[in-house]
């Protein structure tokens, strides 16, 4: 089991018992939070209908096909490169998966239908699922969504689906790791955010340089200290 | 059915209600406050969690359970607005606000007269319902001072008894005393804005904020963590009503707060008096009532209007206390034009320091500049801060559209945001919005909230000629300032589709007579003397300044009027 999966389980357990996870906690099934049996689905995904490599970091809500689509889509929105962590590196899929299992449960149908419409469009246009398209083709599809130029979208509209995925990618990149994304502070390191600091000094604020005094601390560590 | 009796019941203990609770309690009146949200503590705000507080708006109403709808005109269908910017707990919006605390200008209280005197009556747009306030700056000045000192506001005077002082706001109305606390430290957002606007000949200063720069009244000074707008303060340095006046109210021994209480009706009898309120209790009970000698309605403007509309009677068929017909009309909001500057040669580190509207110029606000050839009246407070008003990366990404030529996603966006998040600042032109009688709040016929009450519905579109011209003018100023900073990229955000911006105001207009307003200058109903409806709903015009300190000053004035005059002789105060 990867380090990521351990962190994920730690989150799920924490979410079920901790006050910090708020609305999401009650909605995560106990089985997921407490039993290791629920995890292998993520670690060893079943054979996939489209034959694509299944993604890491799902299982609370997405199925294997949906997770492949969202993984590929969010990675195009925020692509990784050497020294520049992207959506996959940051665990954006894991963030969205957990959010749909909890705080964003009311957006499940939005995602389910949005993904179905996206896949129908890709099948009609390219005869392949989104995740199997080349990066350039995927960008063409996303551009068409962003500009509302796709066919076959009713609800959610193509633009609404694009905008929501963009918003949730940003959240998964930059929200505190306690929510399942921003893995190992990948998003904060990408942009130079030092995390929540309880105080800054006048000298910090007078500096025109990048802030160098930061030690990245997440909410869970912060809570243990207090 | 639970019924309690008290001297005063206050619906909503926020910026206005909290002050009234403390002041009336001090005078020996028994006060019950109803608050639909919880009462939180400073310790609850230890987690500086941008997702929870900024993005998911944990301190603000949930738009799904407590929807407010908007439509641009009466022919359009209203839909729920996705973000609500007012508070949802004891202390109201002051818990999560950016704490910017202004005294309005003298001419902000007399927009109609000022405009006619300087430019002639034709300068006022025909369809606008601009009137003068029934209260002057001079009359309110002592109450502004009291609010600044009792609550704790940091700033530097720019006009002390008529003497102009550089480094403060030289356009401010004369004040008798300086601020109780020195201005907050200036960070790189402020330093860059200061240098550029001075170069242009303008008059920058550190924005006065209800955030204490030194220990004050037993509270510690601001630690410059940067999590203000959208957040509760983790050390209690933000002078929210929660840590100031509610503490005072508790000390009186005469104040009782009921949280989780959703008021749905102001009760009245046939004698022309209100008798109390009914509310849904925290336990789900529907038939709770409070009988009171004085009813003070002090929630945010949507709920103030809605409560009066829901409380209609045989005598007041269009809403309680609405003989004027002005209830729910003259809705205004601040139109937030936004500009951005991004730098290759320096870091700004926007996440440091009290976050919202950090540094200001007042040169293009109110009637501080000559509008003769401009084709519009009134102006904007121009300020600088992080793109999202708080400086975390989620707020910045969500609120900073990339400059022309940079995509909104993909490697190009990643590289833009990775480079410029710590090297950007944003400017906001918080522009005044004239009142128009057909910009309204009423009851949505189709959408209800979690209690089954009809949602407040706004009908509003700011895109009228006077407002559009002002926004264009201010946008050009933002670009000018950004260029004067020597920024690598300077650009503005596209303007929106007519929806109201921030700081919604109006709906329960105060005025000089019962024909053109709902309440008098003491926020007292013209129709029902033991009913007070107070808050930014009362504002006849909006000013380009944040409303809270003026709400607070009006609340102090009303408290004085109730304690010193009404209590001795209940009846009309005007």
Residue-wise pLDDT for A109-154, tens only, equals: 999 999 999 999 999 999 999 999 999 999 999 999 999 999 999 9
The percent of residues above 70 in pLDDT, for chain A, comes to 74
3-state secondary structure at position B36: coil
Q: Does B317 touch chain A (CB under 8 A)?
A: no
Q: Does B121 touch chain A (CB under 8 A)?
A: no
Cβ neighbours of B48 in A, within 8 Å: 196, 198
Nearest-angstrom CA–CA distance, B393 and A195: 9
Tell me chain A's radius of gyration from C-alpha atoms.
Answer: 19
Task: Give the pLDDT confidence score for residue B172 in this predicted structure.
Answer: 98
Mutation pick from B394, B401, B407 vs chain A, by most beta carbons of A within 10 Å, is B394
Cβ neighbours of A209 in B, within 8 Å: 347
Residue stretches of chain B with pLDDT short of 70: 1
Cβ neighbours of B206 in A, within 8 Å: none
- Position A44 pLDDT exceeds 50: no
Measured CA distances, B571 to A20, B292, B327, B522 (Å): 50, 15, 21, 12
Nearest-angstrom CA–CA distance, B389 and B231: 11
Closest Cα partner for B230 from B88, B430, B373?
B88
Q: Does B392 touch chain A (CB under 8 A)?
A: yes
Domain boundaries, chain A: 3-225
Q: What is the mean pLDDT of chain A?
A: 80
- Position A53 pLDDT exceeds 60: no
CB A22 within 8 A of CB B58: yes
Can B326 be counted among the known catalytic residues? no
Q: Does B187 touch chain A (CB under 8 A)?
A: yes
Single out the catalytic residue among B326, B489, B503, B504.
Answer: B503
Task: Give the pLDDT confidence score for residue A56 in this predicted structure.
Answer: 65
CB B358 within 8 A of CB B197: no
8 Å CB contact of B49 and A84: no
Q: Quick one: pLDDT band at residue A43, thresholds 50, 70, 90?
A: very low
The predicted complex's ipTM stands at: 0.95
Task: Give the pLDDT confidence score for residue B152 in this predicted structure.
Answer: 98
Structure tokens at B548: 């809270």
Task: Give the pLDDT confidence score for residue B495 in this predicted structure.
Answer: 85
Task: Give the pLDDT confidence score for residue A14 in this predicted structure.
Answer: 33
CB B41 within 8 A of CB B429: no
Residue-wise pLDDT for B204-238, tens only, equals: 999 999 999 999 999 999 999 999 999 999 999 99
8 Å CB contact of A201 and B417: no
A residues 126..155 contacting B (CB < 8 A)? 139, 142, 146
Residue-wise pLDDT for B102-142, tens only, equals: 999 999 999 999 999 999 999 999 999 999 999 999 999 99
Cβ neighbours of B415 in A, within 8 Å: 84
Q: Quick one: pLDDT band at residue A6, thresholds 50, 70, 90?
A: very low
């Amino acid at each position: 089991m990867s380090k990521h999966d351990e962190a994920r389980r730690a989150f799920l357990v924490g979410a079920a018992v901790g006050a910090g996870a708020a609305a999401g906690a009650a909605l995560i099934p106990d089985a997921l939070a407490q039993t290791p049996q629920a995890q292998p689905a993520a670690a060893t995904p079943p054979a996939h209908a489209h034959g694509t490599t299944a993604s890491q970091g799902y299982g609370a809500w997405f199925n294997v096909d949906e997770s492949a689509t969202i993984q590929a889509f969010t990675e195009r929105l925020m692509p990784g490169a050497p020294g520049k962590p992207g959506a996959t590196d940051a665990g954006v899929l894991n963030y969205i998966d957990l959010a749909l299992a909890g705080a964003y449960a009311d957006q499940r149908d939005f995602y389910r239908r949005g993904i179905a419409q996206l896949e129908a469009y890709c099948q009609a246009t390219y005869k392949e699922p989104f995740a199997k398209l080349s990066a350039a083709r995927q960008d063409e599809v996303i551009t068409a969504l962003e500009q509302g130029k796709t066919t076959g979208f009713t609800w959610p509209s193509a633009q609404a689906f694009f905008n929501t995925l963009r918003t949730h990618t940003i959240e998964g990149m930059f929200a505190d790791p306690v929510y399942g994304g921003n893995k190992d502070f990948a998003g904060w390191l990408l942009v130079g955010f030092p995390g929540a600091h309880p105080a800054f000094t006048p000298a910090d604020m007078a500096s025109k340089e990048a802030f160098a005094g930061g030690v990245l601390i997440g909410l869970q560590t912060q809570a243990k200290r207090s | 059915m639970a019924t309690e009796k008290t001297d005063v019941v206050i619906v909503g203990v926020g910026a206005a209600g909290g002050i009234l609770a403390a002041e009336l309690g001090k005078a020996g009146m028994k006060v019950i406050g109803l608050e639909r949200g919880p009462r939180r503590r400073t310790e609850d705000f230890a987690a500086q969690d941008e997702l929870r507080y900024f993005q998911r708006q944990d301190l603000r109403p949930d738009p799904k359970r407590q929807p407010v709808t908007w439509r641009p005109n009466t022919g359009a269908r209203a839909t729920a607005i996705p973000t609500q910017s007012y508070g949802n707990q004891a202390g109201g919006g002051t818990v999560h606000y950016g704490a910017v605390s202004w005294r309005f200008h003298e001419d902000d209280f007399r927009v109609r007269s000022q405009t006619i005197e300087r430019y002639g009556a034709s300068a006022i747009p025909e369809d606008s319902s601009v009137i003068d306030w029934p209260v002057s700056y001079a009359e309110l000045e002592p109450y502004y001072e009291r609010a600044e000192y009792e609550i704790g506001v940091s700033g530097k005077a720019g006009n002390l008894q008529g003497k102009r002082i550089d480094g403060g706001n030289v356009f401010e109305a004369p004040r008798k005393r300086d601020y109780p606390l020195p201005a907050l430290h200036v960070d790189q957002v402020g330093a860059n804005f200061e240098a550029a606007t001075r170069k242009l000949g303008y008059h920058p200063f550190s924005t006065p904020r209800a955030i204490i720069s030194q220990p004050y009244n037993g509270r510690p000074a601001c630690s410059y963590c940067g999590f203000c707008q959208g957040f509760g303060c983790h050390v209690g340095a933000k002078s929210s009503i929660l840590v100031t006046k509610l503490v005072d109210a508790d000390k009186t021994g005469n104040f009782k707060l009921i949280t989780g209480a959703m008021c749905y009706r102001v009760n009245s009898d046939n004698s022309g008096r209100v008798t109390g309120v009914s509310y849904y209790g925290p336990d789900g009970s529907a038939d709770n009532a409070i009988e009171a000698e004085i009813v003070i309605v002090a929630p945010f403007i949507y709920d103030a209007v809605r409560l009066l509309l829901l409380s209609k009677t045989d005598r007041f068929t269009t809403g309680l206390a609405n003989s004027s017909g002005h209830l729910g009309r003259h809705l205004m909001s601040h139109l937030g034009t936004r500009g951005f500057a991004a730098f290759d040669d320096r870091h700004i580190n926007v996440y440091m320091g009290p976050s919202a509207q950090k540094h200001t110029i007042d040169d293009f606000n109110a009637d501080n500049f000559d509008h003769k050839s401009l084709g519009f009246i009134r102006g904007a407070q121009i300020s600088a801060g992080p793109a999202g008003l708080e400086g975390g990366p989620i707020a910045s990404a969500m609120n900073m559209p990339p400059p022309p030529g940079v995509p909104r996603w993909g490697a190009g966006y990643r590289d833009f945001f990775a480079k410029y998040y710590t090297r950007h600042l944003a400017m906001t032109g918080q522009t005044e919005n004239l009142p128009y009688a057909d910009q309204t709040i009423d009851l949505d016929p189709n959408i209800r909230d979690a209690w089954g009450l009809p949602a407040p519905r706004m009908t509003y579109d700011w895109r009228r000629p006077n407002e559009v011209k002002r926004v264009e003018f201010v946008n050009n100023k933002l670009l000018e300032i950004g260029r004067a900073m020597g920024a690598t990229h300077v650009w503005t955000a596209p303007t929106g589709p007519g929806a109201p911006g921030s700081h919604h105001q109006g709906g329960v207009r105060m005025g000089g007579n019962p024909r053109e307003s709902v309440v008098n200058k003491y926020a007292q109903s013209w129709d029902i003397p033991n009913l007070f409806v107070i808050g930014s709903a009362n504002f006849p015009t909006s000013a380009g300044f944040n409303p809270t300190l003026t709400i607070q000053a009006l609340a102090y004035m009303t408290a004085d009027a109730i304690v010193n005059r009404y209590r001795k002789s209940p009846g009309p105060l005007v």
